[in-house]
Amino acid sequence: VIPEPPIDAPPAFSVANDEYARLRRRLIMFFERRGCVAPDNLADDCFARLAASTKSGWRPDNLRTYLFGIAGNVYLEYMRSPGRSWEELPENVARDSDSPAAEDSRWIARAVIDTLSPEERELMEAHYLDKLSWKKLADGFGLTDAGMRVKVMRLRNRLLEDYGDQLNSIGLKRKATDRSVRVDGL
């Protein structure tokens, strides 16, 4: 299997991968807030301009502030461009889907939930099912409100991470299966 290159490779200037990812996310957030159609593309556009301006060896004093300025310019140009409009939302975006992919994701989520300890499960049930306030939840577990928020957030992020990993692995498997089907069909 030949590994595919990542879709969003960092530009060819010296920014650490982690910092690049966070800067990109900031830019995406910036364009999302303004209702831009393709915030990812606009973020990449910002990096392309940054790369162009630093090609000569010049470096901005503050990369983030500089990038923020670039984002503002990119947005102004975007506003002048044709076809800028809100992205068409799929119907009932907040509703459940019955597609096979949605069924897969539910199955994966269930598998991820099964890895919780009884105490963790109890906590998440109290949070989602019983809809207890942060204060009640914190009192029940002998923590402060902030401590409880952090605990739930970490637990949720762990679940989301596992969920994402498993979803990716299934996606890769599915992609491999599709390829083999195509090869077989040749």
Partner 1 sequence: MSTGRLPDDSLLRLYLLGKRMEEVEQDRIERSYFESDECFDRLLEIEDDLIDTYIRGGLSPEERVQFERHFLAAGRHRERYEAMRAIAANFFRDGPRPRHSRLSGIRAFLVMQSSAARAAMAVLGIGAIVALGLLGARYARLSTEKANASALAASSRLAPARGELAFALAPGLLRSNSRRAGPRVACAAPEDDGVTTVSAVRGRPEHRAWRRGASPGRFGAGRRCGGSSNLSQSSDGGTRLRRLIGWDGD
Nearest distance in Å: CB 180, partner 1: 27
Among residues 55 and 135, whose Cβ is nearest to partner 1?
135
Q: Is the separation of the CB atoms in 184 and 169 below 8 Å?
A: no
Query: How many Å apart are CA 119 and CA 141, to the nearest integer?
Result: 10
Task: Calculate the CA dihedral of residues 41, 44, 48, 54 and round it to 10 degrees.
Answer: 150
Report the interface residues with partner 1, using CB under 8 A. Answer: 22, 25-26, 28-30, 32-33, 35, 39, 62, 64-65, 67-68, 86-87, 89, 93-94, 105-106, 108-110, 112-113, 118, 121-122, 124-132, 135-137, 139-142, 153, 156-157, 159-160, 163-164, 167
All residues at 6 or more sequence positions from 113 whose CB lies less than 8 Å from its CB, including other chains: 121, 124, 159
Query: How many Å apart are CA 178 and CA 47, to the nearest integer?
Result: 34
Nearest distance in Å: CB 131, partner 1: 5
Nearest distance in Å: CB 58, partner 1: 20
Q: Is the separation of the CB atoms in 66 and 78 below 8 Å?
A: no
Among residues 172 and 179, whose Cβ is nearest to partner 1?
172
Among residues 169 and 180, whose Cβ is nearest to partner 1?
169
Query: How many Å apart are CA 30 and CA 17, to the nearest integer?
Result: 20
Among residues 165 and 179, whose Cβ is nearest to partner 1?
165
